């Protein structure tokens, strides 16, 4: 049994299979075909932070696969407060075929997965967001037929989304540059990664410009300080003009318009943010069927 806690335990071949399967399921969906690959199977989703995309894409994705999903709010379960993390995991494992957990500390997810008897999926921790990264790469493949040669540039905070994006680029052997203020660098190491605080130099020749919020969930107390520090890293039309003419703009959403990105960029023809959001559905259906041992042949 395999969990989906981080991209570390996935090879290039496995990720390629996920991308192929996601694209096949997306095409089937567009043709109006059913893809009941997990009939009557259940996913329990525990959220200790808010969500729009992750919750809905997993829930609707399970329905499209012939199964169902159940949403539980973290403060109701009381992971580690009302009950031990391990006891919750053992109990939920008895009811479900899959579990998705969105939590703060990555160690809690690991503790949960250690005793789970069904596959556990990382729905975002302070450290990583692997479902998002798989989706992001799928979106790059769709928009950049020569994705192998692409230069991906992430501008902003070296946060969970950035860390997973570096990881997926590393596995897929695609070069990525992160432009961030000193002290906010990502921790993930990769021979495909360049880190700089010079945003103009970073975006030169970029095929993809990606950003995320300056203040992640759980960092609300740092809002004022972060907004000041990250101000020079706002993605503007002027920044996009310094990249390749066909550069695409990506954001995992939710966005704080007027902070990390302008309205103009969000609404521009470069923006693929809603393709990205849609692809959460298909990428996660591919991930969950793979974890469920569904044969793709």
| Catalytic (active-site) positions | 102, 129, 132, 212, 252, 280
Residue 240 touches ligand CP, criterion: CB under 6 A: no
* Cβ neighbourhood burial of 219 (10 Å; 0-12, 13-18, 19+): middle
SS3 86: helix
Beta bridge partners of 136: none
Q: How far is the CB of 123 from ligand CP (least distance, A)?
A: 8
Q: Is 165 helix (H, G, I), strand (E, B) or coil?
A: helix
Q: Which is nearer to ligand CP, 93 or 132 (CB)?
A: 132
Residues 6 or more apart in contact with residue 130 via CB below 8 angstroms: 4, 5, 6, 7, 122, 164, 167, 168
Contact 29, 64 (CB under 8 A): yes
Which of 56, 217, 227, 229 touches ligand NVA (CB under 6 A)? 217
Question: Is 252 an interacting residue with respect to ligand CP (CB under 6 A)?
Answer: yes
* 261 makes contact with ligand NVA (CB under 6 A): no
Q: What are phi and psi of 217, to 5 degrees?
A: -60, 125
The reply on whether position 133 binds ligand CP by CB under 6 A is no
Q: Which stretch binds ligand NVA (CB under 6 A): 68-76, 140-148, 213-221, 229-237?
A: 213-221
Q: Which does 44 bind (CB under 5 to 8 A by kind): ligand CP, ligand NVA, none?
A: none
Q: Identify which range of 26-34, 56-64, 153-161, 193-201 contacts ligand NVA by CB under 6 A.
A: 153-161
Tokens of 207: 């095929």
213 binds, among ligand CP, ligand NVA, none (CB under 5 to 8 A by kind): ligand NVA
């Amino acid at each position: 049994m395999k969990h989906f806690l981080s991209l570390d335990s996935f090879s290039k071949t496995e990720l390629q299979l996920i991308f192929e399967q996601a694209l096949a399921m997306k095409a089937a969906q567009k043709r109006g075909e059913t893809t009941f690959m997990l009939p009557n199977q259940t996913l329990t989703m525990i959220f200790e932070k808010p969500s729009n995309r992750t919750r809905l894409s997993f829930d609707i994705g399970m329905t499209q696969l012939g199964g169902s999903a159940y949403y539980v709010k973290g403060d109701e379960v009381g992971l580690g407060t009302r009950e031990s993390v391990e006891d919750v995991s053992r109990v939920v494992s008895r009811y479900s075929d899959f579990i998705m957990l969105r939590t703060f500390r990555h160690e809690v997810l690991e503790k949960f997965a250690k005793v789970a008897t069904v596959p556990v999926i990382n729905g975002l921790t302070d450290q990583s967001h692997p479902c998002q990264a798989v989706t992001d790469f799928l979106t790059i493949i769709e928009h950049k037929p020569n994705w192998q040669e692409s230069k991906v540039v992430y501008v902003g905070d070296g946060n969970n989304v950035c860390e997973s994006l570096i990881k997926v680029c590393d596995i897929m052997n695609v070069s990525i540059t992160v432009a961030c203020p000193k002290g906010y660098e990502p921790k993930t190491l990769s021979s495909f990664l360049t880190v700089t605080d010079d945003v103009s130099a970073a975006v030169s020749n970029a095929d993809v410009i990606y950003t995320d919020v300056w203040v992640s969930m759980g960092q609300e107390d740092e809002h004022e300080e972060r907004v000041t520090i990250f101000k020079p890293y706002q993605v503007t039309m002027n920044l996009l003009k310094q990249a390749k003419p066909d550069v695409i703009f990506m954001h995992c959403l939710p966005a704080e318009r007027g902070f990390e990105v302008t309205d103009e960029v969000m609404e521009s023809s470069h923006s693929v943010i809603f393709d990205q959001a849609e692809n959460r559905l298909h990428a996660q259906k591919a991930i969950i069927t793979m974890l469920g041992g569904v044969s793709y042949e």
